[in-house]
Chains A and B, each alone.
Chain A
Amino acid sequence: MSVRLARLRTASWFGWMVEGNWADPVLFTIYVVARPLAMALMLALMYRAVRGHAAHGAVFAGFYVANAFHAYVDRMIVGMGWAVFEEREEFETLKYVFTSPMGLLTYLAGRSSVKFTLATISVTLMLLMGWFVLGVHWDWARVQPLPLAITLALGLAATLFIGFLLAGWSLILARSAIVVLDGVSLGMFLLCGVIFPVDLLPRPLQAISLALPFTWWYEALRRFLLARPSTALLAHWSDLQILAGLAAVTVGASLLSLWGYRAFERHARRIGRLDQTTLF
């Protein structure tokens, strides 16, 4: 166990070096801060543009909060796929990671911790900006801390495991990995109803949406933080049922992702993709 932790720590340290050694701290901070704040402001301006016609501000608050937490999905899922892509194509070191005692899975888990830190900075900044600048408030008396903590843990676990799946997929993808990774993040943004209720999706897409852990995650976050559900589709579910649903879908998705990762890895070995550069 201690060996595994040491390897994880090493991978995290290495990940930090890869992520942060390219620029001076000021430039790095701008890079980390600019994207989430721009996205938050964009949503706020969209709401401002239609405020005269639009629904109550609480509806917007629900979307804003979910969008803030989507930074985890965006950074971690896409980031883990990118890590594979970078190691193979840019640095040409993926084969060495495979032959090291650490193994790719532990290495990816370590690299994800850096993505997690960066995503946490993004989420915190967006929530602070929402609270102090855009008026996205919640009633602290109505926040449910324990279910919220469980929700956060489950959502982050789902992010990590689906990140493994995409990293596995990146092993066999060539140049299109860039588009696929960003596309999956956008797909999640659309299908999981980050900034709109999933009731607006066509019925077949609603079914897919409910099979994804992040749909449940965002719904649970809205309930336990804002005390306000947003989706009519899940409105008749109690808080406990939502939590149980999130847990079930997360466990299912995680097991499937792990299986998928291993299948992709086997396939990549078979077709000789581990050290094949296709772009650079």
Chain B
Amino acid sequence: MTWLERLVLDLRAARARAYVRVVGTFREPQGVLLDAVFPNLGMCAFVLLYRSLGAPKSFEALAVVGGVMTTFWLNVLWGMGAQFFWEKQNGQLQLYFAAPCSRMAILGGMAVGGLAATVLRSLVGVALGVAVFHVRLAAFSPWWLAAVFVATMAALYALGMMLASLFLLYGREAWHTCNALTEPVFLLSGLYFPLRTLGAVGAVAAGLVPLALGVDALRQVLMGRAAHGLFPMRLEFAGLCALAGVLLVLARASLDHLERLSKREGRLTQRWQ
């Protein structure tokens, strides 16, 4: 197979996996509604906490931006990281390995499909912020917004691919690890407060968790100085691009390594593990 044929095959596999993800998301109409509204309720509570504490309005905007980004992290954890767990339970995981395409293409398709579905949820969050909480933002550059958003998503979903590889080997242990990564990552990413409040821990988190750097950069694009940013926005953008590249390489390596290991230990087809 030539490299061009391989590329076409991988792109087709990615498109097919993305299609399933999008169709699956919209399969249950009531599910779409609930999926769009429920994850944003936590954000509303945090905005009202700031209101009850008498905080300046900019903190409410800060919580809205963070709340909108939670939907992407949850999708990365459960829609990407845990997806191989679902597939394994379904007895479908082995089909991915029997297919001639690359596993990265399947994961890439999953990421694109998941991202498309998650955008709907995030738009509901934005609508809630603007219509219900009357959040106002400063004038901002849509180009910078798009660039920072794309870089954040690339880094986040590359991390999701790495997490997914864990499920090739582990079962519920990785599942519960995903569970335990929800609130602690919200904390380390400063989703509902300025990352700067974490001090040195915030700086370390920014280097490890792409969500932290992404949220901080997005807030700076949208809110300017009121975002209380940790580092200059352009530096954070460069950091995000670097993180995306490194995580993609690591995801590829960990996928290959764990695939070999799980085949050797016979765990690929093991259900109820």
The answer to whether A39 and B41 touch across the interface, beta carbons within 8 angstroms, is no
Which residues does chain B contribute within 8 Å of A63, judged by CB atoms?
49, 52
Does B4 make an interface contact (CB < 8 A)?
no
Q: Is the CB of B42 closer than 8 A to any CB of chain A?
A: yes
Among A30, A59, A90, A186, the most chain B Cβ lie within 10 Å of the Cβ of A186
Contact B51–A200 (Cβ < 8 Å): yes
Shortest Cβ distance from residue B90 to the other chain A in the assembled complex, whole angstroms: 5
In chain B, positions 99-114 with a C-beta closer than 8 Å to chain A are: none
The answer to whether A49 and B194 have CB atoms under 8 Å apart is yes
Instruction: Give, as a whole number of angstroms, the nearest-CB distance from A119 to chain B.
Output: 15
Inter-subunit contact B49/A23 (CB<8 Å):
no
User: A42 at the A/B interface (Cβ < 8 Å)?
Assistant: yes
B36 CB, min distance to chain A CBs, angstroms: 9
- Beta-carbon contacts of A147-185 to B below 8 Å, as 1s and 0s? 000000000000000000000000000111011101110
Which residues in chain A, 22-72, are within 8 Å of chain B measured between CB atoms?
A: 22-23, 27, 30-31, 34-36, 38-39, 41-43, 45-50, 53-55, 59-60, 63
Q: B48–A30 contact, CB under 8 A?
A: no
* A183 contacts across to B, CB distance below 8 A: 34, 37-39, 41
Contact of A189 among B41, B54, B193 (CB under 8 A): B41
Q: Does B53 contact A (CB under 8 A)?
A: yes
Near A by CB (< 8 A), chain B positions 147-199 give 171-173, 176-177, 179-180, 182-184, 186-187, 190, 192-194, 197-198
Stretch of A110-118, A190-198, A234-242, A254-262 that contacts chain B: A190-198
Q: Assess whether B9 is interfacial by the CB under 8 Å rule.
A: no
Q: How many A-B residue pairs have CB under 8 A?
A: 142
How many chain-A residues does the 8 Å CB contact rule pick out? Answer: 48
Does A280 touch B at the CB level, under 8 Å?
Answer: yes
Decide if B176 touches A23 in the complex (CB within 8 Å): yes
**Contact partner of A34 among B34, B50, B86, B180, CB < 8 A?**
B180
Write the chain B residue with the least CB distance to A54: B53
Is there an interface contact between A46 and B49, defined as CB atoms closer than 8 Å? yes
Would you call B176 and A186 a contact (CB within 8 A)? no
> Would you give the shortest CB distance from B174 to chain A, in whole angstroms?
10
- Is A1 located at the chain interface by the 8 A CB criterion? no
Contacts of B73 in A (CB 8 A): none
Tell whether B232 is near chain A: CB-to-CB under 8 Å.
no
Expressed in whole angstroms, the minimum distance between the Cβ of B50 and any Cβ of chain A is 7
Say whether B2 faces chain A, with CB atoms less than 8 Å apart.
no
Q: Verify B31–A179 contact, CB threshold 8 A.
A: yes
Contact B187 A54 (CB under 8 A): no
Q: Is B28 an interface residue, CB under 8 A from the partner?
A: yes
A174 (CB) vs chain B CBs: closest residue: B28
Specify which chain B residues have a CB less than 8 angstroms from the CB of A179 in the assembled complex.
31, 34-35, 38-39
Task: Tell me, in angstroms, the Cα distance from A195 to B39 when the chains sit together.
Answer: 17
Measured between beta carbons, the chain B residues less than 8 angstroms from A60 are 53
Q: Is the C-beta of A91 less than 8 angstroms from some C-beta in chain B?
A: yes
CB < 8 Å neighbour of B53 from A22, A55, A174: A55
* Contact for A22 among B56, B176, B186, CB less than 8 A: B176
Query: Does B89 belong to the interface (CB within 8 Å)?
Result: yes
A3 at the interface (CB under 8 A from B): no
Answer yes or no: B46 CB below 8 A from chain A CBs: yes
Contact with B along A185-228 (1 / 0, CB 8 A): 01101100011110011000000000000000000000000000
Shortest CB–CB separation between residue B140 and chain A, in angstroms?
Answer: 22
B177 CB contacts on chain A under 8 angstroms: 31
What 8 A-B pairs have minimum CB-CB distances, sorted nearest first?
A: A183-B38, A176-B31, A50-B55, A38-B183, A186-B41, A54-B53, A22-B172, A196-B48
Residues in A lying within 8 Å of B, measured CB to CB = 22-23, 27, 30-31, 34-36, 38-39, 41-43, 45-50, 53-55, 59-60, 63, 90-91, 174-176, 178-180, 182-184, 186-187, 189-190, 194-197, 200-201, 279-280
The 30 listed contacts between A and B (C-beta, < 8 Å) are: A22-B171, A22-B176, A35-B179, A35-B180, A35-B184, A38-B187, A42-B183, A42-B187, A42-B193, A45-B190, A46-B49, A46-B50, A48-B193, A55-B53, A90-B89, A176-B30, A176-B31, A179-B34, A179-B35, A180-B38, A182-B38, A183-B37, A183-B41, A190-B44, A190-B48, A195-B49, A195-B52, A197-B52, A201-B48, A279-B86
